[in-house]
Structure 1
Amino acid sequence: MRPVTSFSSLFKGTLFLMSMLLYKPIKPSTPLAPFMGDDLIKVGGRLKHASLDPTLKNPKILPSKHHVSKLLVLHYHAKVVHQGRQFTESAVRQAGLWILGGKRLVSSIIHRCVTCKKLRGKLETQKMAELPPERLETCPPFSYVGLDVFGPWSVVTRRTRGGAAQSKRWAILFTCMTTRGVHIEVIESMDTCSCINAIRRFFAIRGPAKQMRSDRGTNFIAASVELGMAQPNKNPLDIVNHLHANVCTWEFNPPHASHMGGVWERMIGLTRRILDSMLLQNKHTRLTHEVLCTLMAEVSSIINARPLVPISTDPSSPFILCPAMILTHKQGVPSPPGDLCGKDLLKNQWKQVQALANGFWSRWRNEYLNTLQSRRKWHGTHRNLQSGDIVLLKQNQAPRN
């Protein structure tokens, strides 16, 4: 019966077989100057007279495309507690091993290491998509609308002997996908009735819309469940049926895709900053429902007066392209040429309105659309995930690992 072979002798025998596979007639110009020692191929180099350990002075040469080399790299990668390529390659070198093409082998193993991906993995990205057609249509304002809910704020509802009773108020922000105009409606609760009433008020003021977009994490699904005010399965259906009766379609973004609602998320952030500044100026004013509605109207006016393109220094173009040009016809648009008065003013009033609208859409096409051409991020095309791929899911609500 043969005795059990020790690990060191088995390891040395494996290295000997690998050295035989590597053995070729040695060229004098080889940078590593390999030689045979202890039945193994070792690095010769120029450190013969260095006061180093022989394993460091003459490390053993291993091929990169061998299973044992991969196992050794995995062993030392785990030994340095899944650190980067420099740590792992240094541990391999300290063990007296010189792997040909070691940088590439170590990088490929770290790239496939599940533990490293858990610790430092990057999220999958894809090239930024083309703009949807509703962002590029020349159509009446608020024909294509994106909406979201934000808040709440505490308002005084009634006076009591002990002080004042307070309630919460929210707001629905409607933004035009084309002109980037904003309309804000204050709501008293997050249930279906308040949402439908806000949409009806919006339609009564701005006219019916062709399409409405929102994400699934707002008042229609997530907020109603979170606050326990309504059944989550009934809210979307009731509102969608109401919109279909008004010849309007509702598109929901996929879950956890907040970047697809960047048009209205950006406007909500801007609204919050303006509103915080207004409330800071009036610290001692008690917020009531009427005051909150007035503040929202003023915030809408400020946002709709913002420039859509960089302000020109050309004195021949003093007017700023802003959503208020098409929403109110009172800001930033010059009067039509010619003197119109008396009967002509009544007869040609439609020409004035048409000239104002044409002036906005002409500048909108020539100045604003060009700013949407470039991609600010997500420039490269990557491979899409396929069926059978093993992935790690990241949840924003949960910490890493």
Structure 2
Amino acid sequence: MGQLPPARVNQSRPFLHSGVDYAGPFQLRTMRGRGGKLYKGYLIIFICLSTSAGHLDVVTDYTTDGFLAAYKRFTGRRGICECLYSDCGTNLIGADRELRALFNKSSNEWKHLANILSNDGTNWKFNPPSAPHFGGKWEGNIRIVKSHLKKIIGFTTLTYEEFVTVLVQIEAVMNSRPLCAVSNDPLNYDVLTPGHFLIGSSLAVVSEPSLLDLKTSRLSRWQHLRQMIESFWKHWSVYYLQSIQNASKWFEAKNIPQLGRLVLIKDERLPPSKWAIARITEMHSGPDGRIRVVTLRTPTTTLTRPITKICLLPEVETDDSDTQ
């Protein structure tokens, strides 16, 4: 495996180096009620390569002007990119012809876009042809968002306003995910999230009573959108917890819990963008000496959980020279 590119490991402000990708199409409606015409909308995602923060937006076509409009909205809130990365147009096998033409390095559309972006000092870089794994940072995010979004929307057609409302709250959920512990202090339960790089603290959605178990026919339009967000959270949070808990053959002891280690607790009852953080205070071994149950201390209570219900967060690396 090769080394990570400099944009992934060097310190920089959020979205200075970003990857971009499209997903869709999604059916949108011009207005609610009868008489509203249907048209296609597309999800566009910008991923910061250094902080893992995400930015979601909607475009209504695959044209140069449509992308520029989305890029202007993105840079107006996140700042001008120094370098923008994307897949080569020939890799977009499942995309429409217009998208392949737009993201083709030899096309007139791309040359026009590259010239406009270069005026602000933005360099647009393509991954090599037939190498989608070069864009794994944004490919993974767009795949997850797209698959879960299609599940929660189903056959419902949303207006542009409703679709943007759902996407912005999904963006907050994504940017609230814990990345690692802030400190090794046993009394510190703070975690670092992508939201800390954007606003200085973790992002959250407005807390409301759960609507997940109610029938859609009983809900108003805005309550239905809230139910979609909760459904996305239910599916996406499980996926994220599984992704940071490496599954491997049980021939070797890996990811062994340690006293004082900061962990995430798997809890399906939590509302969107809320994470259960705790530290390990005791470890209980079985007859074979293997640790399978731990006692956890949260900021409010003490719990006992099997290790299958916890996910270890990365530890803060300390410099030995500073402690000597």
Shift of 1:315: 4.5
> In the aligned structure 2, how far is the partner of 1:152 from the partner of 1:320?
35
Q: Conserved in 2, the CA contact under 8 Å of 1:221 and 1:235?
A: no
Identity over aligned pairs, percent: 33
- Give 1:313 deviation, angstroms: 9.7
Contact 2:27 2:157 in 1 (8 A): no
The Cα shift of 1:201 comes to 1.1
Residues 1:251 and 2:251 are matched in the alignment: no
Q: What residue is the counterpart of 2:176 in the other structure? A: 305
Larger radius of gyration: 1
Superposition deviation, residue 286 in structure 1 = 3.7
Query: Counterpart in 1 of 2:60?
Result: 188
Match of 1:145 in 2: 18
Quote the offset at 1:159 in angstroms: 6.9
- The answer to whether the 8 Å contact 1:170/1:189 transfers is yes
**What TM-score comes out, normalization by structure 2 length?**
0.56
**Superposed, which structure 2 residues align to 1:327-346 within 5 Å?**
327-331=198-202
Is 1:324 aligned to residue 195 of structure 2? Answer: yes
Q: Alignment length, in residue pairs?
A: 206
Structure 2 unaligned blocks of 5 or more: 204-312, 318-324
Q: Greater strand percent: which structure?
A: 2
Deviations 1:87-114 (A, max 9, x none): xxxxxxxxxxxxxxxxxxxxxxxxxxxx
Q: Using the TM superposition, give the Cα deviation of residue 225 of structure 1 relative to its aligned residue in structure 2, in angstroms.
A: 2.9
Distance 2:117 2:93 in 1: 17
CA–CA distance in 2 between the matches of 1:263 and 1:302?
A: 17
CA distance in 1, matches of 2:96, 2:140: 23
User: Does the 8 Å CA contact 2:58/2:164 hold for their aligned counterparts?
Assistant: yes
Aligned partners of 1:365 and 1:218: how far apart in 2? 40
1:263 to 137, 153, 169: 137
Counterpart for residue 29 of structure 2: 156
What is the DSSP-based 3-state SS (H/G/I as helix, E as strand, rest coil) of the residue aligned with 1:138?
coil
| Equivalent residue, structure 2, for 1:167 | 39
Structure 1 or 2: more helix by fraction:
1
Shift of 1:189: 0.1
Q: How far does residue 317 in structure 1 lie from its aligned partner after superposition? A: 2.4
Q: 1:309 Cα shift?
A: 3.3
**What is the CA–CA distance in structure 1 between the aligned matches of 2:140 and 2:21, rounded to whole Å?**
11
Give SS of 1:152's match.
strand
Once the 2 structures are TM-superposed, how far is the Cα of residue 140 of structure 1 from its aligned partner? 0.7
Query: Where does the alignment leave 5 or more consecutive residues of structure 1 unmatched?
Result: 1-127, 333-362, 368-401
- Distance (Å, rounded) in 2 between the aligned partners of 1:365 and 1:210: 31
Distance 1:230 1:140 in 2: 28
Matches of 1:287 and 1:137 in 2, distance apart? 40
- Residue in structure 2 matched with residue 178 of structure 1 by the alignment: 50
Task: Identify the residue that residue 293 of structure 1 maps to in structure 2.
Answer: 164
C-alpha deviation, 1:255, in angstroms: 1.1
TM-aligned CA deviation for residue 275 of structure 1: 2.3
User: Structure 2: how far apart are the matches of 1:244 and 1:221?
Assistant: 28
Q: Secondary structure at the residue paired with 2:25?
A: strand
Answer 1 or 2: higher relative contact order, Cα 8 Å, separation at least 6.
2
Distance in 2, matches of 1:219 and 1:231, equals 10
Q: Does the 8 Å contact 1:271/1:303 carry over to 2?
A: no
For 2:133 and 2:76, locate their aligned partners in 1 and report how far apart those are by CA, in whole Å. 30
- What secondary structure is seen at the aligned counterpart in 1 of 2:14? coil
- What TM-score, normalized to structure 1? 0.46
Cα separation, 1, equivalents of 2:91 and 2:165: 23
Q: For the structure 1 residues 219 and 188, does the alpha-carbon distance in structure 2 shift closer, same or farther, using more than 3 Å as the test?
A: farther
The answer as to whether partners of 1:158 and 1:166 remain within 8 angstroms in 2 is no
Q: Is the CA contact (8 Å cut-off) linking 1:203 and 1:209 kept in structure 2?
A: yes
Supply the distance in 2 between the matched residues of 1:305 and 1:183 (Cα, whole angstroms): 13
